[in-house]
Amino acid sequence: MDRVTLMRALSLGSYLGLIAFGMAWAIWLGDIPRNQVSFSLLFFAPLFLPLRGILHARDRSILWGTLVSLLYVLHGGTVWYSDAELWHWGALETLLAVTTMISGSFFIRWRAEANAAP
Protein backbone atom coordinates (compact mmCIF):
# COMPACT_ATOMS: atom_id res chain seq x y z
CA MET A 1 0.00 0.00 0.00
CA ASP A 2 1.50 3.32 -1.03
CA ARG A 3 1.43 6.42 1.14
CA VAL A 4 -1.34 8.12 -0.86
CA THR A 5 -3.69 5.17 -0.39
CA LEU A 6 -2.78 4.93 3.28
CA MET A 7 -3.54 8.62 3.88
CA ARG A 8 -6.79 8.31 1.92
CA ALA A 9 -7.89 5.40 4.10
CA LEU A 10 -6.82 7.16 7.30
CA SER A 11 -8.50 10.42 6.29
CA LEU A 12 -11.76 8.77 5.28
CA GLY A 13 -11.79 6.47 8.30
CA SER A 14 -11.17 9.25 10.79
CA TYR A 15 -13.77 11.52 9.17
CA LEU A 16 -16.44 8.82 9.17
CA GLY A 17 -15.34 7.88 12.69
CA LEU A 18 -15.83 11.49 13.78
CA ILE A 19 -19.37 11.43 12.37
CA ALA A 20 -20.17 8.09 14.02
CA PHE A 21 -18.63 9.17 17.31
CA GLY A 22 -20.57 12.44 17.27
CA MET A 23 -23.83 10.59 16.74
CA ALA A 24 -23.00 8.08 19.46
CA TRP A 25 -22.04 10.87 21.85
CA ALA A 26 -25.30 12.72 21.26
CA ILE A 27 -27.45 9.61 21.59
CA TRP A 28 -25.74 7.30 24.14
CA LEU A 29 -22.40 8.41 25.50
CA GLY A 30 -22.98 12.02 26.48
CA ASP A 31 -24.75 13.51 29.43
CA ILE A 32 -27.55 14.84 27.24
CA PRO A 33 -31.18 14.75 28.42
CA ARG A 34 -33.46 12.64 26.23
CA ASN A 35 -35.59 15.59 25.14
CA GLN A 36 -32.52 17.44 23.78
CA VAL A 37 -30.89 14.65 21.77
CA SER A 38 -32.30 15.80 18.43
CA PHE A 39 -31.03 19.33 19.07
CA SER A 40 -27.55 18.09 19.97
CA LEU A 41 -27.40 16.06 16.77
CA LEU A 42 -27.48 19.38 14.92
CA PHE A 43 -24.04 20.12 16.35
CA PHE A 44 -22.61 17.41 14.11
CA ALA A 45 -24.57 18.45 10.99
CA PRO A 46 -21.67 20.49 9.49
CA LEU A 47 -19.76 17.23 9.03
CA PHE A 48 -22.33 16.14 6.45
CA LEU A 49 -21.88 19.17 4.17
CA PRO A 50 -18.61 18.07 2.45
CA LEU A 51 -19.29 14.33 2.88
CA ARG A 52 -20.22 13.55 -0.73
CA GLY A 53 -17.05 15.12 -2.08
CA ILE A 54 -14.95 13.43 0.60
CA LEU A 55 -16.37 10.05 -0.39
CA HIS A 56 -15.39 10.81 -3.99
CA ALA A 57 -11.89 12.05 -2.96
CA ARG A 58 -12.34 15.59 -4.25
CA ASP A 59 -9.58 17.88 -3.03
CA ARG A 60 -11.78 20.89 -2.30
CA SER A 61 -14.24 18.81 -0.25
CA ILE A 62 -11.43 17.19 1.71
CA LEU A 63 -10.05 20.64 2.42
CA TRP A 64 -13.44 21.83 3.65
CA GLY A 65 -13.78 18.67 5.73
CA THR A 66 -10.49 19.40 7.45
CA LEU A 67 -11.60 22.97 8.12
CA VAL A 68 -14.93 21.79 9.54
CA SER A 69 -13.12 19.33 11.79
CA LEU A 70 -11.42 22.30 13.50
CA LEU A 71 -14.75 22.90 15.29
CA TYR A 72 -14.53 19.44 16.79
CA VAL A 73 -10.91 19.93 17.84
CA LEU A 74 -12.11 22.90 19.86
CA HIS A 75 -15.13 21.09 21.26
CA GLY A 76 -13.22 17.94 22.13
CA GLY A 77 -10.36 19.91 23.66
CA THR A 78 -12.76 21.90 25.79
CA VAL A 79 -14.51 18.78 27.06
CA TRP A 80 -11.15 17.08 27.58
CA TYR A 81 -9.92 19.97 29.70
CA SER A 82 -13.05 20.91 31.62
CA ASP A 83 -15.12 17.77 32.24
CA ALA A 84 -13.72 15.39 34.83
CA GLU A 85 -16.21 12.64 33.97
CA LEU A 86 -16.25 12.78 30.15
CA TRP A 87 -12.64 13.81 29.47
CA HIS A 88 -11.87 10.56 27.63
CA TRP A 89 -14.66 11.21 25.09
CA GLY A 90 -13.26 14.70 24.54
CA ALA A 91 -9.81 13.24 23.99
CA LEU A 92 -11.19 10.76 21.45
CA GLU A 93 -13.05 13.49 19.58
CA THR A 94 -9.91 15.64 19.49
CA LEU A 95 -7.82 12.70 18.27
CA LEU A 96 -10.28 11.89 15.47
CA ALA A 97 -10.51 15.51 14.35
CA VAL A 98 -6.74 16.08 14.39
CA THR A 99 -6.19 12.81 12.51
CA THR A 100 -8.72 13.97 9.92
CA MET A 101 -6.92 17.26 9.45
CA ILE A 102 -3.42 15.84 9.19
CA SER A 103 -4.21 12.81 7.04
CA GLY A 104 -6.48 14.83 4.71
CA SER A 105 -3.77 17.43 4.21
CA PHE A 106 -1.10 14.82 3.48
CA PHE A 107 -3.44 12.96 1.12
CA ILE A 108 -4.07 16.08 -0.96
CA ARG A 109 -0.39 16.99 -1.05
CA TRP A 110 0.98 13.52 -1.80
CA ARG A 111 -1.66 12.79 -4.47
CA ALA A 112 -0.81 16.08 -6.20
CA GLU A 113 2.90 15.18 -6.08
CA ALA A 114 2.18 11.70 -7.46
CA ASN A 115 0.06 13.11 -10.29
CA ALA A 116 2.69 15.73 -11.16
CA ALA A 117 5.58 13.23 -11.30
CA PRO A 118 6.42 12.10 -14.85
Going from N- to C-terminal start, the domains of the chain cover 3-116
* Alpha helices, DSSP H, located in the chain: 3-24, 37-41, 51-55, 59-82, 87-116
What band does 116 get if pLDDT is binned at 50, 70 and 90? confident
Closest CA to 51 of 62, 43, 41: 62
For range 85-103, the mean pLDDT: 94
Distances (CA, A) of 71 to 2, 82, 97, 111: 30, 17, 9, 26
What band does 43 get if pLDDT is binned at 50, 70 and 90? confident
For range 60-83, the mean pLDDT: 93
pLDDT at 12: 95
Higher pLDDT, 35 or 112: 112
pLDDT at 14: 96
Which tens digit of pLDDT belongs to each residue from 25-34?
888 877 777 7
Q: Alpha-carbon dihedral of residues 82, 87, 89, 90, nearest 10 degrees?
A: 40
- Residue pair 110/102 in contact (Cβ under 8 Å)? The answer is no
pLDDT at 105: 95
Lowest mean pLDDT, pick from 4-18, 31-45, 56-70: 31-45
